[in-house]
Amino acid sequence: MAELTGRCFCGATRWQSEGEMLWSSLCHCEDCRRAASSDYVSWFGVEKSNTRWEGPRRTYVSSPGVTRSFCGECGAPMSFETEVFPEETHLYAATLDGPSLYEPTAHIFWSERLPWVQVCDDLPKHEKGLQAAAKAGEKLL
Ligand SMILES: [Zn+2]
Ligand SMILES: [Zn+2]
């Protein structure tokens, strides 16, 4: 079985996950941008039950039912979990020990992208995100 590993900026907080990435996407929503202080965020999903953490990780409830985590030492953003997908942990691709393992398959929340963001890929660009789609009974990715 494949194993993915990653770490924060200072290296004190680490994660490891057995199995494959469930999906991948680039999120342009304002919450992700502000939580990461970034133009957009490269996400992928893993199974929460197969994912282990070590280090001084701290959590922050960023909206109802949504918990984000970050390194308690250096403050680097580490994960996103939502009650809408209770069996998944969403991880920042930028935390991967091997970033080349990542391949985005779509843009989400394209409607909220920053005015200076221009991309030249051919990936699908969804106006909204995964949670809204799931609540509407749709599967976006
Ligand atoms: Zn750290
Ligand atoms: Zn987002």
- In the chain, domain spans: 3-135
Q: Which residues are near ligand 1, the ion (C-beta closer than 5 Å)?
A: 8, 10, 12-13, 71, 73-74
Strand partners, 77: 70
User: Which helix H or strand E contains 33, and what residues bound it?
Assistant: helix 30-36
Stated pTM of the model: 0.94
- Tell me the fold of 3-135: 2.170.150
* pLDDT value of residue 101: 93
**Cα distance between residue 45 and residue 108, in whole Å:** 14
Question: What is the number of the ligand closest to the CA of 63?
Answer: 2
Tally of CB atoms within 10 A around 53: 14
pLDDT at position 1 over 70: no
- pLDDT single digits (tens) 50-82: 999 999 999 999 999 999 999 999 999 999 999
